[in-house]
Structure 1
Amino acid sequence: MNQNSIVELLAGWAMERPDVMCAADTKGSATYREMMQMVYYLSEMLRAEGVKEGDPVVVECTQDRAYLALYLAIELAHGVFVPLESGAADARATDIIDDTEAKLYFTQKEYEGRPGWRNGKELKKLAAETLTEEKTAAFGAVDLTKLPYPDPEAVSQILYSTGTTGKSKGIVLTHRNNVACAENVRYGVEMKEQNVEFIPMPLSHSHGLRTAYASILNGSGMVLMNGVMFVKIVYDMMDRYHVTGFDMSPSILRLLFRLSKDKIAEYNDQLDYVEIGSAALPEEDKEHLKELLPDVRLYDFYGSSESGRSCVLNFNSPDDKPKCIGRPSHNTSFVFTDDQRREIHATEDNPGLLASKGAMNMKGYFKNPELTASVMKDGYIYTNDLCYVGEDGLIYYLGRQDDVINCSGVKISPEEVEEVVRHYPNVRDCCCIPVDDPLKGQAPKVFLQMEEGAPEFRRADFMKYCKTAMDATKQPAEVELIDSIPRTYNGKLQRKKLIAREKERRA
């Protein structure tokens, strides 16, 4: 089977496993043949609308089979898929539509002065119309081996990510990049042939999309749902489709714990694995999940939209150690560099900046060659992540270089401080940042978001707790209560916003 693009993989399974379930949502399911039929006719519709090679098509996420089919139809039509999160602010939606000069945009509402709108509310209806008896009969005569599949080096999509800085970047990915990301996931979690993965992660974001790619690469099934807020439906779907894999972010895991307590423990014998990504997993939640699912492989992925799923750790194994992010994934190789990007031997005493190489690495940033050149060279994507290789051969992550706190010559990961602080009574969320200190160079400052209705916060009690729970260099020099810790829509901590706010306050 050719592995040049996700849509070509779908077509291969439509011929080889036509009756295997490909994707399900709360309204029903579609086999590989049915999904390919939807993709084929939706691609014909796109071509009739004038979509040509390289034309961007913006699609607001509806987290269902119809959305997935439209994405793959854009691939088959040789367009460029540009996902937009559900309910995106008008300014963000129009910025993306304008920046890409989108040929069409499928959204819940029309934006004034921007031609090419197609009503996103009609997407399910459009998809359903591709499965009529007449079209099913006609599709039987389509030779899927002769369709004009996209070139693997052609641009497949542009992902706009706010990341942790708040500034939107368009990440350009080829079809080869997508397949390589899918391989990183598939081999990283050791997917089995009959796997069915539950995906509540938004398919407008790189993490959820890449899990969906992996299911198609594997020729197995996926169950799509918009988050886990309706927890009874979550477990009903897990039962109905006999879910064996569960993809989630730390924020989704914590919400699942809040809404259903320890119910996921009932699936210890059914689940083969759980995979987690998109943000750091708190140690408390990690340990609780291990207690609930002792016989399930539990994976934590490290990576980025620019270099997808590049490192993986099974944290329900002896490899699970503090700061460990595991081993390079299927298509990934790493080097470690100093500040001048000279390769070094990175150790715990002399960590280096991580750089990744592999077919999953992005093509570049959209319309921004300067930014691309600042992070990419000779096939490597350079990060600001301070890491090292332990004596056990595993990779350890200390934090982002500009976040790491240099206190009296000791490098402190803010995540280490946050992990301890999170256990203080009534702390809902927290963030640690470096602040200038005249004697130590830098010192930790902690922002706390307390639970609603919590007793009055007593700073002396909090500092006493910190003194008993962490080393002296890691103890916060300052603490400040805040209404809300800034995070992205997928739960990633926006530490830089608090750093900028602190610098402005001290100026």
Structure 2
Amino acid sequence: MVNRFARALANLGINKGDKVALLLPNIPQVVIASYAVLKLGAVVVMNNPLYTERELEYQLNDSESRLAIGLDLLVPRLLKLKEKTGIENIISCHIRDFLPFPKKQLFPLVKKKMHRKTSPGEGALEFMELIKKYPSDPVETDVSFEDLAALLYTGGTTGVSKGVLLTHANCCCCVQQLKAWLPDVEEGKDVMLGTFPIFHVAGFTTGMNTAVYRGLALVMIPRPEPGVVLEMTRKFRPQWFPGVPTIFVGVLNHPDFSKTDFSCVKGCMSGAAPLAVETMRQWKTQVGADIVECYGLTETSTMSHVNPWGGKTKPGSVGVPFPDTDCKIVDVETGTKEMPIGEPGEIIIKGPQVSSGYYNKPKETAETFRDGWLYTGDIGYMDEEGYFYIVDRKKDMIIAGGYNIYPREIDEVLFEHPKIREACAVGIPDPYRGETVKAFVV
């Protein structure tokens, strides 16, 4: 199907270097479309389908996308955007396209809000019709390791979203680094839950690319609500469970949690947001599997740090640098002075998975990528054993009376109180100290 769809795209005029926008949830079409685009030497542009029309207009124009692939429910919006962007063709997918009998036939009755009764309309082509139309012979390609593979958008530390440049080398190196870190996967046999959206770098690399590279069955979950995650765990018996902290918290607190057997799970990986130490402890006690905390950015193709698999894990730490990855802690003011062990500063990273910059953003690229190092905008420190800890975002740091205060440290202390479920510390103006701390608790 990848070859068929690649031929369809080529017939629509997509050539090497052209940008193709994908606005899809976790459904089979996003995998087929991604690899078809890559086979042509074109560039996958991942967009969040839930974004507003204004946000999508900006990203489609900024990326110079020529073709958009989205759910049929989004087609009316895409047709409007076609008039304001460089989009020449729209391809429509349906969430039911790959459902087995009889679910495919029952879908319009059971999921009325997700079913579009009318055809996509003039200006939109049907994904399944294109797949049927072309042969499955491999397309002729000339793709090199250093060619651009994908643009994934990130908010970064300031301003509007930026398209992160990821080459084929970045993507390939990252999945090989993941393999070196996690050798216990039974390739061709193990199952992984696909809770991260593939339009996010974690889903793109840790989910889709890793599953294909290592022969994993990827259970694609379009909306990873706790009840759905538990249902998929009971049905497919996954060995690997990556997710964001809110998923683990939601699963632990769901009424069906006690009905689910987690004995199949070998390991869980948490990323994209800080994981509370208490959540990690509770999961280990009640599930029996460890949650390994990871750290990375869109600019690092997903991961740059992770706790050693099968080695020493430190609660609250994001672990040690990935294989072939260098990391330093430098002063916040100049970014040139390396900080002593235990002293917080900005985390900077160098490695084969690190992007070269932002698309059409020379100023932001120069600020963030300096002398081969990625300046993350995150504040952290390294302990005497080489484990790294994230203290806060540089932009979230509170300066009170000349002292640097990191809200996440306050949150962690508040989380330890047995009567507090959620906590968030922020900085507010103070006439004497400049800023002071205010905490919200639930």
Report if TM-score (shorter chain) is over 0.5: yes
By how many angstroms is 1:341 displaced? 2.5
**Of 305-314 and 436-445, the range deviating more from structure 2:** 436-445
Distance 1:165 1:344, change over 3 A: closer
Are residues 1:292 and 2:286 paired?
Answer: yes
Residue 120 of structure 1: aligned partner:
92
Distance 1:75 1:210 in 2: 14
Unaligned runs of 5+ in 2: 99-125
Q: Give, in whole Å, the separation in 2 of the partners of 1:433 and 1:237.
A: 37
Matched, 1:252 2:279: no
1:281 is paired with a residue of what secondary structure?
A: coil
| Matching of residues 103-502 of structure 1 within 5 Å | 103-107=66-70, 108-109=74-75, 110-112=78-80, 113=83, 114=85, 115-122=87-94, 124=97, 139=136, 142=137, 147-148=140-141, 150-163=143-156, 167-192=160-185, 193=187, 194-211=189-206, 212-229=208-225, 231=227, 233-260=228-255, 262-263=257-258, 266-267=261-262, 269-294=263-288, 296-307=289-300, 308-313=302-307, 318-322=312-316, 324-338=317-331, 339-348=333-342, 350-407=343-400, 411-422=404-415, 429-435=422-428, 437=430, 442-448=435-441, 450=442
- Structure 1 residue 92 displacement after superposition: 1.3
Aligned equivalents of 1:314, 1:227: Cα separation in 2: 30
Q: Is the 8 A contact 1:310 1:331 kept in 2?
A: no
| DSSP 3-state at the match of 1:364 | coil
Q: String of CA shifts for 1:461-504, please: whole Å, max 9, x gaps.
A: xxxxxxxxxxxxxxxxxxxxxxxxxxxxxxxxxxxxxxxxxxxx
2:430·2:436 contact (CA, 8 Å) conserved in 1? yes
| Residues 261, 287 of structure 1: alpha-carbon distance in 2 compared, 3 angstrom cutoff | farther
Aligned counterpart, 1:18: none
Which of 46, 63, 73 is matched with 1:83 structurally? 46
Output the amino acid matched with 2:55: R
Counterpart contact for 1:300–1:314, Cα < 8 Å: no
Distance (whole Å) between structure 1 residues aligned to residue 307 and residue 247 of structure 2: 19
| Closer/same/farther in 2, CA of residues 149 and 222 from structure 1, 3 Å limit | farther
Deviation at 1:121, TM superposition (A): 3.0
Summarize deviations over 1:298-349 as a string: whole Å, max 9, x none.
Answer: 2111111112300002599743144x2210012311122223232424322x
Structure 1 unmatched ranges of 5 or more: 1-37, 451-507
Change over 3 Å in CA distance of 1:276–1:377 after alignment to 2: same
Q: 1:301 to 1:77 in 2, by over 3 A?
A: same
Using the alignment, how far apart are the partners of 2:157 and 2:373 within structure 1? 21
Q: What is the Cα deviation at residue 441 of structure 1? A: 6.0
Contact 1:398 1:404 in 2 (8 A): no
- Structure 2 Cα separation of the partners of residues 230 and 414 of structure 1: 28
The secondary structure found in structure 1 opposite 2:298 is coil
Residues 426 and 321 of structure 1, relative CA distance in 2, 3 Å threshold:
closer
Alpha-carbon distance in structure 2 between the residues aligned to 1:119 and 1:402: 39
The two structures have a TM-score, normalised by structure 1, of: 0.71
Q: For residues 401 and 66 of structure 1, what CA distance do their matches in structure 2 show? A: 38
Distance across 1 between alignment mates of 2:403 and 2:56: 44
Alpha-carbon distance in 2 for matches of 1:316, 1:407: 41
Residue 3 of structure 2: SS of its match in structure 1?
helix
- Which 10-residue stretch deviates more, 122-131 or 374-383? 122-131
Cα pair distance change 1:436/1:118, threshold 3 Å? closer
Rate the CA distance shift 1:150–1:238 in 2: closer, same or farther, 3 A. farther
Distance 1:311 1:43, change over 3 A: same
Alpha-carbon distance in 2 for matches of 1:319, 1:217: 26
1:59 touches 1:106 (CA, 8 Å); kept in 2?
yes
Structure 1 stretch displaced more, 312-321 or 274-283: 312-321
Q: Is the 8 A contact 2:181 2:308 kept in 1?
A: no
Q: 1:464 is matched with which residue?
A: none
CA 99–206 in structure 1, closer or farther in 2 if over 3 Å, else same = same
* Cα deviation 1:394-437 (Å, max 9, x = unaligned): 12222233433455666432112123335668866443223455
Q: Kindly state the Cα deviation for residue 116 of structure 1 after the two structures are TM-superposed.
A: 2.2
Report the alpha carbon displacement of residue 253 of structure 1 after superposing the two structures with TM: 1.9
SS in 2 for 1:91: helix
After superposition, the C-alpha distances for 1:121-179 in whole angstroms (9 at most, x for unaligned) are: 358476656877x97xx64xx4x6x8525211111111112356562111111111111
Match of 2:123 in 1: none
CA separation in 2, counterparts of 1:187 and 1:271? 20
Does the 8 Å CA contact 2:180/2:323 hold for their aligned counterparts?
yes
Identity, in percent, stands at 23
1:70 counterpart residue number: 33
CA shift for structure 1 position 81:
0.8
> Could you tell me how far apart the structure 1 residues matched to 2:395 and 2:197 are?
29
Letter in 2 for 1:376: F
